[in-house]
Amino acid sequence: MAVQGWDVATQAEAIELLRRAVATKNEPEHELYEQPIVDLYAGMMRDFGLEVEVIEGAPGRPSVVGRMRGSGGGRSVFFNGHLNSPSSLLADWKTDPYELTLIDGKLLGMGVSDLKAAIIGMLFAARAIGRRGPRGDVIIGLGAASEQGGLIGTKAIVDRGYRADVAIVGEPTDLEIVNCQRGAVWVNVHVRGRSGLSGGGVNAVHKAVRVAQAYIDLNRGLATRKDPVLGAPGLSVNIIQGGHRISTVPNRCMLTIDRRSIPGETGEEVLAEIERVADELRTEDPELDLTLEPRLSMPPLRSRAEDSLAVKVVSDAVRDVRGREPVIKGIRGFTEMVHLHEVGMDGVVCGPGNVDVIHAPNEYVTVEELMHTIGLYTNVAARVTSMAK
* pLDDT exceeds 80 at position 306: no
Q: What is the pLDDT of residues 228-269, one digit of tens each?
A: 889 999 999 999 999 989 999 999 999 999 999 999 999 999
pLDDT of 22: 96
pLDDT of 290: 97
Q: What is the pLDDT of residues 33-86, one digit of tens each?
A: 899 999 999 999 999 999 999 999 999 999 999 999 999 999 999 999 999 887
In order of start, what are the domains of the chain with their CATH numbers? 11-181+300-385 (3.40.630.10), 183-298 (3.30.70.360)
Between 237 and 8, name the one with better pLDDT.
237
Q: What is the mean pLDDT of residues 189-195?
A: 96
* pLDDT exceeds 90 at position 87: no
Under the banding of pLDDT at 50, 70 and 90, the label for residue 148 is: confident
Radius of gyration of the chain (CA): 23
Q: What is the pLDDT of residues 334-383, one digit of tens each?
A: 899 999 999 999 999 999 998 888 888 899 999 999 999 999 999 999 99
Q: What is the mean pLDDT of residues 133-161?
A: 92
What distances in angstroms separate CA 182 from CA 64, 144, 345, one per listed residue?
Answer: 27, 21, 18
Residues 152, 59: Cα–Cα separation, whole Å: 10
pLDDT of 305: 63
pLDDT of 350: 96
Sheet of strand 364-366: strand arrangement: 101-103, 106-108, 364-366
Q: Which of 101-110, 143-152, 174-183, 239-248 has the lowest mean pLDDT?
A: 143-152
CB 61 within 8 A of CB 152: yes
Residues 279, 226: Cα–Cα separation, whole Å: 26
Kindly report whether the peptide bond that precedes residue 115 is cis, defined as omega within 30 degrees of 0. yes
Beta-carbon count within 10 A of 73 CB: 10
Choose from 129-133, 164-168, 176-180, 302-306 the range with maximum mean pLDDT.
164-168
Angle at 226 between CA 176 and CA 115, to 5 degrees: 30
Prediction pTM value: 0.89
Q: What is the pLDDT of residues 11-46, one digit of tens each?
A: 999 999 999 999 998 887 777 789 999 999 999 999
Q: What is the mean pLDDT of residues 325-342?
A: 90
Share of the chain above pLDDT 70, in %: 97
Beta-carbon count within 10 A of 246 CB: 6
* pLDDT exceeds 80 at position 293: yes
Beta-carbon count within 10 A of 120 CB: 30
Under the banding of pLDDT at 50, 70 and 90, the label for residue 150 is: confident
Q: What is the mean pLDDT of residues 87-92?
A: 82
Residues 375, 350: Cα–Cα separation, whole Å: 13
Q: Which residues contact 266 (CB under 8 A, 6 or more apart)?
A: 299
Q: What is the mean pLDDT of residues 259-285?
A: 96
